[in-house]
Chain A
Amino acid sequence: MNDAVTDQPALIELAGVTKIYGTGSAEMKALRGVDLCIRQGEFVAVMGPSGSGKSTSMNILGCLDTPTGGSYRFMGVEVGDLTRDQRALLRRNYLGFVFQGFNLLKRTSALENVELPLIYRGDFLSERRRRASEALAQVGLAGWEHHTPGELSGGQQQRVAIARAMVADPVVLLADEPTGNLDSERSVEIMGLLTAINRDKGVTVIMVTHEPDMAAYAKRVIRFRDGLIETDGHHEGGAT
């Protein structure tokens, strides 16, 4: 699998990326020149202490933010040159997001939550319903379509969020501490899901995590420190 991945074209290319917040004496260099290449089908864990630049780089990878300097090419496109709305379209069509806090719409059924990306994509109702139900079934929540987040456990909520991220068939799934709010048993379930998505659908998964246990599921672990990549290494196949 690793060999197959290295043959793939580069999906994400960072070259000398810097990110500076504030100006003058309040200037804060979050990224000091990051070079990184991620290929189609990889499962990457991003680690590092807080303030190391891992969140900033996730925001840049997710096209939510643009680098101050350097180049970020996503599928060959220079993201820094895109407008806010063009980046939104990029996220809509190629990226899926999973957050630590789930970020589901309150008092809104699981089905309607999962439908959300499809509404923005302009799918018709019947198509939306069908795809959203399928996505929910794939995360093991068939039959829970009409439950609101308040009626679901944390693990179930995160699974709804994964279904939402996957419903529009993204190329890359970005997960920001997806197991941060879950106990170890639920965490294992979620990691199982992410692994399956990466393995069966060939979706590139990039996950920020604090926990080495979770990072162990990834095939590649990138560690940040002080705005730079400290280590970047491949596991032997990752955990199952």
Chain B
Amino acid sequence: MIWNAFLLALRELRRNKMRSFLTMLGIIIGVAAVITLVTLGGGATKQVTEQIAGLGSNMLMVNPGKHMGPGQSSGAAPFKLADAEALERDIASLVAVAPTASSSATAINANENWSTSVTGSSEAYFAVNNRAVKAGRIFSAGEVRAGTAVCVIGETVRAKLFGGGDPIGARIRLNKLSCQVIGLLEPKGQSTMGTDQDDLVVLPLRTFQRRIAGNTDVNMIQVTVRDGADTAKVEREIARLLRVRRHLSSNEEDNFDVMDMKEIASMLSGTTKMMTSLLGAVAAVSLLVGGIGIMNIMLVSVTERTREIGTRLAIGALEWEVLMQFLVESVVISSFGGLLGIALAIAASVALAQVLMVPFVFNTSIIAVSFVFSAAVGVVFGYFPARKAARLDPIEALRHE
């Protein structure tokens, strides 16, 4: 009998193709919106989560100046190498300390040149930033002390300067410095802020200071806090030490900033997740509106087909059979709309993921949930009209014009 109701419903929908499609449209748009938004949001969240993992565990960034974001100073005096050494010596909870100084420079190999970001740091840089080499090696502590002219390059720089070739052992020029490429970093892709993390050259701090910057400044100190240590407490210890070293009296504000990158990143990922849920909820409302559309059309349809219902009742249709017919009809509309919505959503998410440059993450559960929800919408909003049809008085219904 269910099968028969299904057949009758299909027959009815076929009889009213245009109307069926328009009724479905509400559900199609609702389902497509929910899935697309949740999928894109999921992609964005995944991207942020990967960034957090890529940041290295427990990394803090210490910048001169106040609240200017990573790598920027507000005119406050830069750090010196001694500040970094003091942190490493005096704060027990730090595993690694990487003083860094950066500027942009043009890298040249034979006829190829590429403007990139050059960073001078210690060997600790790689551990703190969670970067590994894909080929070659990183520079040693000895090379850092000696200020040897060696460098480790990112994948983008390799591609621009060497094309398909092997860069290890080659010499490249950075402004006036000629240095030997000893390592190639494992690619990391784009950062949350959209910068290319593979477009860089890393060399020993002393080499950078002497041969490129021409000063002894350290623009930023990156540190790794030991696992299990209280990050907030370490932040306070760093601040206390630096205040002393920078001769700040108790009524002066900090002229440096300690940032917990992980905190920022997880805040960012939390925001992304919340946005996803909010957008999904808004889209779910549109599904509900689609459901009301179904109810509307079903009520019209019941009124319009009153005589038909009367005929069916006279022929001997039971109350539940008529109820079933209309209920199945609305469920077929809504779940078919759901299927079309899913197809539309997948196409839209793939396209939009490319445009918005977020990874496309196929989310099976949201697709299943949306489909079940769209079918449920059909049951809920189809029930009232179906009951109305089933309870019609056959005599009245047969007389209906």
Contacts and interface: CB of A to CB of B under 8 A. Distances in A.
A16 B188 CA distance: 94
A181 interface: no
A239 interface: no
Interface in A147-204: 164
Interface string B1-39: 100100110010001000000000000000000000000
A88 B313 contact: yes
A59 B315 contact: no
B99 interface: no
A223 interface: no
Given A105-B311, A108-B15, A119-B4, A89 B318 contact: yes
B8 A119 contact: yes
A64 B315 contact: no
B154 interface: no
Contacts of A117: 315-316
Given A91-B314, A112-B11, A122-B1, A84 B319 contact: yes
A63 to B, nearest CB: 9
The A interface, classified by DSSP as helix, strand, loop or mixed, is helix
A99 B315 CA distance: 12
A122 B312 CA distance: 14
B321 A103 contact: no
A92 B315 contact: yes
Nearest to A92: B316
Contacts of B82: none
B320 to A, nearest CB: 8
Contacts of A59: 395
A119 B11 CA distance: 13
B317 A62 contact: no
A226 interface: no
Contacts of B317: 88, 92, 120
B315 A116 contact: yes
A99 B318 contact: no
A92 B11 CA distance: 22
B394 interface: yes
B15 A107 contact: yes
A65 interface: yes
A85 interface: yes
A120 B311 contact: no
A97 B311 CA distance: 9
A90 B315 CA distance: 10
Nearest to A96: B315
B15 A120 contact: no
Residue from B307, B314, B319, B398 whose CB has the most chain A CB atoms within 10 Å: B314
Contacts of B314: 62, 64, 91, 97
B308 interface: yes
Nearest to A97: B314
B310 interface: yes
B11 A91 contact: no
B15 A89 contact: no
B41 to A, nearest CB: 44
B307 A103 contact: yes
Nearest to B317: A120
A112 B398 CA distance: 20
B398 A99 contact: yes
Contacts of B398: 64, 99, 103
Nearest to B321: A120
Given A64-B394, A65-B395, A107-B15, A88 B318 contact: yes
Contacts of B395: 59, 64-65
A189 to B, nearest CB: 22
A97 B315 contact: yes
A112 B4 CA distance: 13
A107 B17 CA distance: 12
Interface of B: 1, 4, 7-8, 11, 15, 307-308, 310-321, 394-395, 398
4 tightest Cβ-Cβ pairs between the two chains A and B: A92-B316, A91-B316, A103-B311, A107-B15
9 contacts: A64-B395, A88-B313, A91-B315, A92-B316, A99-B398, A103-B307, A103-B311, A103-B398, A107-B15
Given A59-B395, A64-B313, 19 more contacts: A62-B314, A64-B395, A64-B398, A65-B395, A84-B319, A88-B313, A89-B316, A91-B314, A91-B315, A93-B316, A97-B314, A99-B311, A112-B11, A116-B312, A119-B4, A119-B7, A120-B4, A120-B312, A122-B1
